[in-house]
Amino acid sequence: MIDPAKIDGVAQIDLLVAYERQIAWLHAAQQRVLAELDGSALNWDGKRTIDYTQEQVGAALRLSPGHAADRLAVGRILVDRLPATLELLDRGEITYLHAKNLAEAVVALEEKPTREIEERVLRRAADQTVGQFTASVRRAVLAADPRRAEQRHADALAERRVVITPQEDGMAELWAWLPAEGAALVKTVLDSLATTKTPGDGRVIDQRRADALVDVFARVIGDPTLPEHHGQRPAIQVTIAASTLLGCDELPADLDGYGPITAATARRIASDETGTWRRLLTDPASGQLLEYGRSTYRPPRNLTDHVIARDKTCVFPHCRRPARLCDLDHREDWCTGGETCEHNLHPLCERHHYAKHNAGWTVTRQQDGTYHWTAPTNHHYVIHPPDDT
C-alpha cells in the first residue's frame, strides 16, 4: 500500500528493511514446508519407494533436481537441528543465506558440536554480513570438532565435481570443486603452458592460461580410447540454419550444452577443417528440425542422432543432463505397441527414466515439440523445445 515515491529517504530505508525482514519470515515459513516434504515420497500403493520429492519440488519451483535436493536438505536441517537459527530467520534478524550457510556447514556433524557451533555463531549473526558470518561459521566448525578435520576432508572430497555455467556474450564459466593438491596440479600445468610466448603474441598471462586450458582438452578429444555414447565419439555439436551458414542471414545458432551463439561464431566453428558436417535442416521461424540426413553413419544411427539433436537434454522438467548421455525412452512403451520413431522417442537421464516408468510421472509430446508432464500429485508442467523463445 505504500508508494516509495511519496515518502522521504528515511522512511524509504525503513521500508526497505521492513521488506527484507518480511522476506526472511517467508523464507522461514518455506523451510518448514520443505522439511515436511523431505522424505515423504510414496508410490501408488502407499508404500515407501525411491524418493522423488526433489523432482516434485524442482518442477514446482523451477529448480534443477540437484538444487531442489539442496533446498530440501537445508529445510530439514534448520527445522530439526538448528531451531535457534530458524527462529532468527523467522524474526527477520538474519537472511536465508546466513541460515543456509550454517545448515550446509553442520550437515555432517553430530548433535553436540552442532549445538555448540550454533550457539557461538548466532551471538553476532544479526550484525554480520553473509561473508563475515560464513567466516565465523568456518572458525566455529574447526574449534568445535578439530579431530574430525580429516573426515570432513574425505566427505568434501566425495563431493568433487566440475560445473559449466553459460554466461553472456558467448562466454561460459568453468567451476571445479577439487582436492587442494589436484587444484595445485592444474594450476602448475597451466602456469607452465602459459609461460610459452612467441614473438608478436599480444596475450596477457591470464589469456594464455585460459587458452592453455582449452588446448589441453582439444588434444584429448582426438583420443580414440574416449568412451562412446549411443555409438558416437565425443563431439561438439553446433546447429545452424543453412541460410545462416551461407551468410544470407544472421540467425542465432545453437551450441550443444551452452545455448544460443552468434551466427559469426557458428560460422567460425564451422570453418574448422577437422569438423564433421551433418545435415540438420530447420524451420527458420521456429528452429524445429524439418529433416535429418547424414552419409557418414549407417542408417540405424539416423534416428538416434535426430532425437539427440532435437531435444539436446533430458526432457524431464528442469533437468539439464545432455541428451547424448541419456537413455532414449519410448514415450508409449514398445511392449504395449509403441513405435520406434522420432515422435515416440525422447531422451531421459537414468533417474528420470525410472521416475517415468516406476514413480507415476507421465508425459505427452505435442507436434510443436512441447512436452507436457504430469506429476503423481496431478500437478502439470510444460517443457518447451530448446529453440523455443
The most confident of the ranges 12-26, 240-254, 340-354 is 12-26
Does pTM surpass 0.95? no
Question: With bands split at pLDDT 50, 70 and 90, how would you rate the model's confidence at 42?
Answer: very low
Q: At what angle do helices 96-105 and 83-90 cross, to 10 degrees?
A: 170
382, containing H or E segment: strand 380-383
d(CA 359, CA 318) in angstroms, rounded, equals: 17
pLDDT at 86 over 90: yes
Pairing of strands 380-383, 371-374: antiparallel
- Show me where the domains of the chain are located: 4-148, 160-193, 226-389
Question: Residues near 263 by Cβ (< 8 Å), separated by ≥ 6?
Answer: 240, 244, 249, 250, 251, 252, 253
pLDDT at 295 over 50: no
- Which comes out higher in pLDDT, residue 282 or 262? 262
d(CA 274, CA 253) in angstroms, rounded, equals: 19
Q: CA distances (Å), 335 to each of 36, 150, 182, in order?
A: 38, 51, 48
d(CA 201, CA 224) in angstroms, rounded, equals: 32
**Three cell numbers at 132?**
563475515
| Matching residue, cell 614473438 | 199
